[in-house]
Amino acid sequence: MEEGIFTYCVDMPTTIRSFVVSNNDMSFTIIINSKIGSNQQLMAYEHEINHIKNGDYDRHCSVDLIEFFAHNC
């Protein structure tokens, strides 16, 4: 585990692969869908880590725009 990043696998609808929450103490919690395959879980984890590294939680724009740039740049 990377410092300040907590990761949990949780049963969710398969339409949701993962998401990340910015916590009040400056840490992050990544939630990964336990119903998807291990390769997809790893890809979802890396996707959320990139959001953290890119500082996407400091951006003042829509989630759709952030996701657009995450997948197309």
Q: What is the pLDDT of residues 4-52, one digit of tens each?
A: 999 999 999 999 999 999 899 999 999 999 999 999 999 999 999 998 9
Distance CA 34, CA 1 (A): 17
Measure CA of the first residue to CA of the last residue in the chain; give whole Å: 26
Query: DSSP assignment of 24-48, as one string?
Result: TTS-EEEEEETTS-HHHHHHHHHHH
CA dihedral 46, 22, 3, 40 (to 10 degrees): -20
Q: Please indicate, yes or no, whether the overall pTM of this predicted structure exceeds 0.95.
A: no
CA-wise closest residue to 48 among 8, 15, 13: 8
